Structure 1
């Protein structure tokens, strides 16, 4: 059994509401989950379900109203800036849009070296590490002197993954990392993430709206609906034989490349909607 790396317990996230005496808007309503070392937990839900907010709370980018977030044995629910900087070695993120997550004015070599410099790693060691990272994500060495605009969406996401790997983190929060890519490129990036996990033992919190995507690399899956987890368990069970009606609707909404299978899913989705 893998050792526990991340534990989220009864997490509540609220934002102030507009208007006089308006109650705060509660995005997460007591969410709990765990991620073990070397494990991937998929977090699935539609837009507005709170899944990205959970990822942001883990990263310190969303306020924790109640509950706790424990990472590698330490409570990071309300970590300050200095503590967050130290956490940067072990906790990283890959964002959704490869076109906006990379600074267009910087060369790829400088983008990859930036997190190393922040942690006080010298120039010589940084250069060697950057070359390793390019090899790790299967990008050519001449990418160092090029800018993000010279790459495709899939290649840019490879650069973003390399940047997240720069400090050899223990956990990477992947926030819809393939949703902006075409299906073929999605599969390539997902295979890369699996390969990296096998080689490094890194853990992923993989956030997506697509059950078919999280099935590809998750060990367990949590389904979030209106700020609450409605189904949580083994990835195959949740993504192939879901028990909760909301998860069943998510599964039927996932696109498939086979037109006949897609038509069948559409019929099943209509039948499920009619039975409610």
Structure 2
């Protein structure tokens, strides 16, 4: 069943300066996410992938196209309508160090959205204990402040906060890019385990093909405001069709020095071929 449908999405930002034309950063993007699915959205900085996530969350206003969630048009929802749908769509941001209020305890951070949705404080505290266990944190973590945790632990708290109201879709905006490699692996496995337990869907935004390959069922590749390739994760991340996706794959580092040197040569040859054909 299709949960999220994005059709012809356009976003334009006002031009800088008097009478400067608007700068369109998304040029008619289309894709869908099924219930319980992870769609990886990958691309370099400036590709428009984060703007896509922000448009879905209602943080930027589209200039064209439609966004439908569970068949309901949310393209130009009012703030009140967005608040009412926040139980269905949540977000995990990139930086675990700034996404949590430093003056609130973890328990208060997790209980806040529950209380805002009308849950009693006692029930909220019980739900917080369940969430902490679900993301692999000790129950006494609820009494501590964010500064007492490592980056990986803070991101676990951010994931728990996104899960508080049992959403159907979580937009994950570069959720592991600020973490070291070993912590990245543990957090990615946590995302997978939570999806198996709850059936939540993810739009997983990243610049790293290896990351999206690990967690995604399908992958969409963003380039200069367009989706240039979309398909099965294993296919797109190992045998891509589009030259830009091939370039991304060749740019990904590998542990073998000889293989890495060959990738550099292949990428240089691909760039030369692209220049010759343009």
Q: Report the TM-score, using the length of structure 2 for normalisation.
A: 0.96
Work out whether 1:179 is the aligned partner of 2:190: no
Q: CA deviation at 1:204?
A: 0.2
* 2:104 corresponds to 1:110: no
Within 5 A, what are the aligned runs for 1:121-132? Answer: 121-132=119-130
Relative distance call for 1:52 and 1:135 in structure 2 (3 A) is same
Q: CA RMSD in A?
A: 1.0
The alpha-carbon distance between structure 1 residues 259 and 184, as it changes in their structure 2 partners (threshold 3 A), is farther
Partner of 2:78: 80
- Indicate yes or no: 2:23 matched with 1:25: yes
Alpha-carbon deviation of 1:263? 3.0
* Partner secondary structure for residue 142 of structure 2: helix
How far did 1:73 drift?
Answer: 1.3
How far, CA to CA, are the matches of 2:119 and 2:265 in structure 1? 57
Partner of 1:216: 214
Cα deviation digits, residues 180-238 of structure 1 (max 9, x gap): 11111111110000000000000000000111110001111111101001111111111
1:87-139 Cα shifts (integer Å, max 9, x gaps): 11110000000000011111100111111111111101100100000000000
Task: Specify the alignment match of 1:143 in structure 2.
Answer: 141
Aligned mates of 1:36, 1:20 — CA distance in 2: 43
CA shift, 1:170, in A, is 0.1
**Unaligned segments of structure 1, at least 5 residues:** none
Q: How many residues were matched structurally?
A: 274
Gaps of 5+ in 2: none
Displacement after TM superposition at 1:148 (Å): 0.8
What does residue 47 of structure 1 align with?
A: 45
Shift in Å at residue 252 of structure 1?
1.2
Distance apart, 1:166 and its partner CA: 0.4
1:70 match: secondary structure: strand
Deviation at 1:271, TM superposition (A): 2.4
**Structure 1 length normalisation: TM-score?**
0.97
Deviations 1:8-31 (A, max 9, x none): 000000111012221101011000
User: 166-175 or 82-91: which moved more?
Assistant: 82-91
Q: Which secondary structure does the structure 2 equivalent of 1:9 belong to?
A: strand
Q: What is the aligned counterpart of 1:272 among 263, 270, 273?
A: 270
